[in-house]
Structure 1
Amino acid sequence: MSFNNKVVLVTGASSGIGAAIALKFAEEGANVAIVGRKVDKLKNVSEDIAKVGNKPLVIAADVTKEDDAKRIVNETVKQFGKLDVLINNAGVGRDTEITDANALEVFDYVMNTNLRSAVYLTHLASKHLIETKGNIINISSGAGHMVTESHFPYCTSKAGLNHFARAIALDLAPKGVRVNTISPGPVKTDIFENKGASKEMEKAIWDKFLEKSPLKRISDPSEIAYLALFLASEKAVGITGSTYVSDNGFLLGH
C-alpha cells in the first residue's frame, strides 16, 4: 500500500501505538505529522521515522488545549499543504470509582483527553479532509465494549469514541470522507509505566493479560499500525462507520 504524497496527522505519537502508526505510514511514503507532549520521546520517534521515510513534522502539544489543537491542524496544513488522514490516538487511563472523592476530576480529565480532544480535532480537520476526500481513524480500546472495575471513566470515554465515529461517519459520507475505529486489546506499550507502575507490577499486569488471552499472546503496536494502513487505503474504500477489534480474542472471555 503506497501513501506517496499523502499527509497523515497522528496524535499521541510519542510512543506505543501512535509511534508505530506514524512509522508505518512513513515507510509507505506518507508525510507524517507527529503530536505528543513528551518532547524527548517525540525526538526519538522522529529520528526513527527519518531513517525509513520523509522527515516528520514534530508538534509538541497538549490535545486537550483548544489553542494547541488549532496549532496542530494549522501547522500540519501549512507545512504540507493539505491533510489526508487524521489518526485520533491520544489517550490516557486513570483508575477511580464513582464513590471516590475525586471521581469527577478523574472523569473530566479522561473524557477531555480521550473523547473531547478527538471531537475538537476532527471538527478542525474536517474541512481539510473533505477537500482531499480523506479519512479518519480513531484508536479506541476493547474497554469501549466492556467494563472493568475502577475504570468507568476510561470505559465510558472509549465507548463514546466508538459511537462518535459512527455518528460522524454518517455525516461525512456524502462528502467523501470515511471514518473508522480500531479497538485494540492489550498491546505491549509503555502505558503502565506512564501510569507509574513498578516493573514488578507491570509484569504482573502483562502476565494476567496473557493468561486471559484466548490466543495466548499480547499484540505488538505494529499490528495495530498495519490495520490502520489498511483502513486508510483504497483497499478499504467501501468501509466506513466500522469498528475493528484486534485483541487476540480477549473480548471473547469477557
Structure 2
Amino acid sequence: MTLDLEGSHREALGTFDGRAALVTGASGGIGRATARALAAAGAQVIVADMAVEAGEDTARTIRAEGGTAQFIACDVSEPEQVSALLEQTMAAFGHLDVLINNAGISGGAQRLHEMEIDAWDRVMAVNLRGPFLCAKYALPHLMKRGGVMVNIASTYGLIGAPQAPAYCASKGGVINLTRQLAVDYGPSGVRVNAVCPGYIDTDMGGQRGRLDPQQAVAALERRESNAARQPLGRQAHVDEVARVVVFLASEASSFMTGSIVTVDGGCTSTFNYNQ
C-alpha cells in the first residue's frame, strides 16, 4: 500500500499555517531544530531561552529561511518571567496553538549523596517546575484554540541511569505530569503528549564546553560508545527528534494524548548499558 501524501494527507502531516507555537529552550539542540521545523511547516514561532545570543540566532535563522519567529528571553523556572513570556506571545501573535516544553538541564554526573542540594533544586526548577509554569500560563490560551502541548522528557525518565539522580527524577515527573494533564485537559480540547529522546547528537547546555578538552572528548566517546550498543547503533540527529515533535503537534496525531513516545534507537528495549 502506498500512502497518498498529497492533499489532505500532506496538510494533516505538515501545515501549521495560521498557528502560533512557543518553543522553550530553543537556542540550540532539539529546541532549535523543533522551532525551525514548525516554522518551515508554516507556524509563527516564539523562540524562548535564557541564552540571548543563541536564541536570537535561532529566530534570525528561521526568518532567513522564510519563516516567522521572534525571540523572547525567559528563565522558565521564574513565574514572573513565564507570565511575561505568555503576555508577549499574545501581543506578538494574538493566540497560541502549540506549546513545546523543551528547556532542560542535565545537572552533571554524580551519585545522589555527592550532589549539592542547590544543584538538585536547580535541575528540578528548570526541568519540572519549568513545564509546570509554562503549562499553567499557556493552558488558558490553548483551551481557547483546541491546542497541543508536547513535553520533552527523556529515556532517563523511564529507566534508572547512572549518576543522574535529579535528571532521572525530574524527567520521570515530566512523564507523569504529561499523563495527568492529558486527563484533565482532554475534555477541554487540549492534547498533551511527551517525547523521550535517547542518545542525541547534541551538547545539552554546553556541558562539554565546561570540561577540559580531554574530559570533553572522553564524554563524547562515552556517549557514542553507549549509543553504539543499542539496536540502531548510533546517536540520533536533532532533526530526527524534531520531526516526531512536529507530528505530535500536528493534526496527524489527533487521537493521541497522554502518549509517551520514545525516540531512542531502541535503547530502552535492551539491558545493554555500558557505564
> TM-score band (shorter)?
over 0.9
- Rounded to whole Å, the distance in 2 between the matches of 1:192 and 1:113 is 12
Match among 187, 194, 206 for residue 200 of structure 2 = 187
Deviation for aligned residue 1:117:
1.0
Deviation for aligned residue 1:31:
0.2
Match among 66, 72, 79 for residue 92 of structure 2 = 79
Match among 27, 39, 54 for residue 67 of structure 2 = 54
Task: Tell whether the 8 Å contact from 1:184 to 1:224 is kept in structure 2 after alignment.
Answer: yes
Task: Tell whether the 8 Å contact from 1:165 to 1:180 is kept in structure 2 after alignment.
Answer: yes
Deviation for aligned residue 1:228:
1.1
Give the equivalent residue in structure 1 for 2:224.
207
Deviation for aligned residue 1:192:
6.9
- Rounded to whole Å, the distance in 2 between the matches of 1:116 and 1:193 is 21
- The change in CA–CA distance for 1:187 and 1:10 in structure 2 (over 3 A counts) is same
CA deviation string 1:158-183 (max 9, x = no partner): 01000000001000010000000000
Q: What pairs with 1:63-74 in structure 2 (closer than 5 Å)?
A: 63-74=76-87
- Rounded to whole Å, the distance in 2 between the matches of 1:15 and 1:137 is 17
The percentage of counterpart residues that share the same residue type is 32
Q: Secondary structure at the match of 1:10?
A: strand
Task: Tell whether the 8 Å contact from 1:185 to 1:245 is kept in structure 2 after alignment.
Answer: yes
Deviates more, 1:135-144 or 1:185-194: 185-194
Say whether 1:157 aligns with 2:170: yes
Which letter does structure 2 place at the counterpart of 1:99? H
Give the equivalent residue in structure 2 for 1:136.
149
- The change in CA–CA distance for 1:149 and 1:203 in structure 2 (over 3 A counts) is closer
Q: TM-score, normalised by structure 1?
A: 0.95
Give the equivalent residue in structure 1 for 2:244.
227
Task: Tell whether the 8 Å contact from 1:169 to 1:240 is kept in structure 2 after alignment.
Answer: yes
Q: TM-score, normalised by structure 2?
A: 0.88
CA deviation string 1:184-206 (max 9, x = no partner): 00111122743523341243123
- Rounded to whole Å, the distance in 2 between the matches of 1:239 and 1:90 is 23
Which blocks of at least 5 consecutive residues in structure 2 are unaligned? 1-13
Deviates more, 1:83-92 or 1:194-203: 194-203
- Rounded to whole Å, the distance in 2 between the matches of 1:52 and 1:101 is 43
Deviation for aligned residue 1:44:
1.8
Deviates more, 1:9-18 or 1:49-58: 49-58
CA deviation string 1:7-29 (max 9, x = no partner): 00000000000000000000011
* Structure exhibiting the larger radius of gyration computed from Cα positions: 2
Give the equivalent residue in structure 1 for 2:6.
none
Which blocks of at least 5 consecutive residues in structure 1 are unaligned? none
- Rounded to whole Å, the distance in 1 between the matches of 2:62 and 2:115 is 43
Q: What pairs with 1:234-249 in structure 2 (closer than 5 Å)?
A: 234-249=251-266
Q: How many residues align?
A: 253
Give the equivalent residue in structure 2 for 1:99.
113
Task: Tell whether the 8 Å contact from 1:33 to 1:59 is kept in structure 2 after alignment.
Answer: yes
- Rounded to whole Å, the distance in 1 between the matches of 2:164 and 2:220 is 20
Task: Tell whether the 8 Å contact from 1:13 to 1:34 is kept in structure 2 after alignment.
Answer: yes
- Rounded to whole Å, the distance in 2 between the matches of 1:145 and 1:78 is 38
Deviation for aligned residue 1:71:
1.1
Q: Secondary structure at the match of 1:56?
A: strand
- Rounded to whole Å, the distance in 2 between the matches of 1:165 and 1:66 is 20
Which letter does structure 1 place at the counterpart of 2:125? N
